[in-house]
Chain A
Amino acid sequence: MSKPRIGIYGLTSCAGDQLVLLNCEDELLDVLSAVDLRSFVMATSQNPEGELDVAFVEGAVTQDSDLELLRDVRTRSKLLIAIGTCAVWGGIPYLSGRGVPISQHVKVDYSLPGCPIEKKQLLSALSSLIHGDLPLKLPYPVCLECTIRENSCLLQAGEICCGPLTAGGCGARCPSHNRPCLGCRGPSLDPNYQAATKILAKHGYDVEDVHRKLALFSGTNSSKEGRQVG
């Protein structure tokens, strides 16, 4: 089996997702020996580019140069993987009204959300891709891992916790430190915004305020569903 040719690219973003890969110190050598790295501008100046098996793209599309790069990468890649919530949902750049998720412009084969992405999931995804598989999709919201950690429910305690609306996989990082989930991983498979809004309204929150919080990271998804309630 020949090594998959891989490219890693950043559009408008903080580069935090690419940094997660660089931070895989114990595994980085194994990764590099299992792939043919053709482009990773953040890590190396040797970037032969060319045809790719898998391209990882971080960041939202906010400007012409983003779109140009994205389209070029898509043409050259068999698979394109969106990494990080900005690439997957628009994330923080979406709030500016100019950033959109990359799926609005090109076909995305797999999405790995997170702000930043989780190291464990990145390595798992890389292993699957090297093996020739698309990575597994996680069907559960943050609440699964939160409950398994036996955290007290912050939503029940009257906090604006986005856990039930947010894609799991982070090990419920924030609720495990007694901080409500901000929803940084973007929407789960089946977010029920109406139900969450109703619960928070019962706790006395202003509905508009709730919508703003719930929409912080959910980008394109929030305008479709989150604001329907009123």
Chain B
Amino acid sequence: MSQLLAKTENPYRPVRAKIVDLRDLTPETRLFQVKLVDPKAARDFDYRPGQFCQISALGTGEAPISISSSPTRPGLLEFCIRRVGRTTSALHRLNPNDEVGIRGPYGNGFPVDYMEGKDVLIVAGGVGLAPVRSLLLYILDNRDQFRSVTLLYGARSLEDMLFREELKTLERHPDLNILLTLDSGDTRLWPFRTGLVTSLFEEITVAPKTVAAVCVPPVAYKFVTKGLLDKGISGEDIFMSLERKMHCGIGKCGCCAVGSKYCCQDGPVFTYWDALNLPDMI
């Protein structure tokens, strides 16, 4: 067949980005601040909270990583990268001024337009704070567009909690309701709560038009969504950011298939309604 489609760029080819700063958030998780090398690309790079990028440690591989920064604060991109495999370990060996490859942004992200004018409940567990932090910052920068904003965040222990200092500051923010909890560990110095993130549901009341944004470990979705449904939130208004194995990020390689959806393209944000229709999703 001769004439198929207009020419486009090679979607597998990353763009170069430079590490501006690195900061350890937990023993395994490091915040990467990066800047695209090409100034025009850096200027034009736009994204939605909840989208992700494929980040390359060249020679080792590529990993899908949620964007933790907010598009309302352009210039630098932030990624929380947990050292769990070959590629993320290689990324952790890099230093400021080293280069990474970036492709993206990919995926649907959180429906921020839909969330406008509504109460927003954000639920995160462990490293799951990474994608919803983008949403939280986005909402803060457009605070008058949203009704009440609540963040429920749980981590295994104090040292596993991401953005501890930032959260402590935000906790005092008059327009935010932040509830933090630790599963266990030494909580003597811990001024907040202990118990799983689902135990925080008892402490909140949920307004009728509430939308939820959730990112927790794979095993926790069933419990969290049940808690949210019990609170009266509609299944269509529970938005979950899911994790899957991904290679291409652009709906070609098939690896992230969840039923008839691709996590990389149709997700990574799915509603509870999607989960009811797609077995194996949560």
Contact = CB atoms under 8 A, between A and B. Distances in A.
Nearest to B57: A133
Interface string B10-31: 0000000000000000000000
A136 B60 CA distance: 9
A134 B86 contact: yes
B89 to A, nearest CB: 7
A131 B91 CA distance: 12
Nearest to B87: A133
B88 to A, nearest CB: 11
Interface string A143-178: 000000000000000000000000000000000000
Given A133-B59, A134-B86, A136-B86, 10 more contacts: A128-B60, A131-B59, A131-B60, A131-B90, A132-B90, A132-B93, A133-B60, A133-B86, A133-B89, A133-B90
Interface string A68-92: 0000000000000000000000000
Bin the interface of chain A by size. under 10
Interface in B48-95: 59-60, 86, 89-90, 93
13 contacts: A128-B60, A131-B59, A131-B60, A131-B90, A132-B90, A132-B93, A133-B59, A133-B60, A133-B86, A133-B89, A133-B90, A134-B86, A136-B86
A134 B61 CA distance: 12
A136 B93 CA distance: 18
Contacts of A128: 60
Contacts of A131: 59-60, 90
Contacts of B90: 131-133
Nearest to A130: B59
Interface residues of B, number: 6
Interface string A115-134: 00000000000001001111
Question: Of residues A128, A131, A133, A134, which shows the largest number of chain B Cβ atoms within 10 Å of its Cβ?
Answer: A133
Contacts of B60: 128, 131, 133
Contacts of B86: 133-134, 136
A136 B247 CA distance: 14
Contacts of B93: 132
A56 B89 CA distance: 22
Contacts of A134: 86
A133 B90 CA distance: 7
A53 to B, nearest CB: 14
Contacts of B59: 131, 133
Interface in B34-55: none
Interface string B189-230: 000000000000000000000000000000000000000000
A131 B89 CA distance: 12
A132 B60 CA distance: 9
Contacts of A136: 86
Interface in B83-131: 86, 89-90, 93
A134 B86 CA distance: 7
B37 to A, nearest CB: 22
Nearest to B90: A133
A135 to B, nearest CB: 9
B182 to A, nearest CB: 32
Q: Which 3 A-B pairs have the closest CB atoms?
A: A133-B60, A131-B59, A133-B86
Contacts of A132: 90, 93
A190 to B, nearest CB: 16
A186 to B, nearest CB: 22
B51 to A, nearest CB: 27
Nearest to B60: A133
B259 to A, nearest CB: 23
